[in-house]
Amino acid sequence: MKKGDTVQASEKAYKVAEEIVKALAEKFNTLEYQQEGKWYAYTLGNVAYELSKTLGDWLNKGWVTAYYLHVWGFHEGKLKDIEGYVKTVKEMYEKAKKILTES
């Protein structure tokens, strides 16, 4: 994968994880969701960590991985092989999708 592709893929994976955390925050009506303010990385991290206590470690692992991609893959452009990281975010997506589509 070319450097530009890696940079863009890193940011897209991060954006997917960000939207997952926001959607789960809404579904579970977390305090952060109720406050309806701007979402910051630390706020998203707090939500992912707190919800992972009941939903499973996959959520926190997915968030941490996505944030790593955001910093080192997108902003710093230092990552060359991101396949494993992207796979973790895809797994996060699949598990969240099941939860979010339940009635």
pLDDT value of residue 31 = 93
Residue 4's pLDDT is 64
Q: What is the pLDDT of residue 50?
A: 97
Q: Which domains does the chain have, with CATH numbers?
A: 3-101 (1.20.120.330)
Q: Sign of torsion, CA 20 25 28 29? A: negative
Q: Contact, 81 vs 4, CB < 8 A?
A: no
pLDDT tens sequence for the chain (103 residues): 565 699 999 999 999 999 999 999 999 999 999 997 889 999 999 999 999 999 999 999 999 999 999 999 998 989 999 999 999 999 999 999 999 998 6
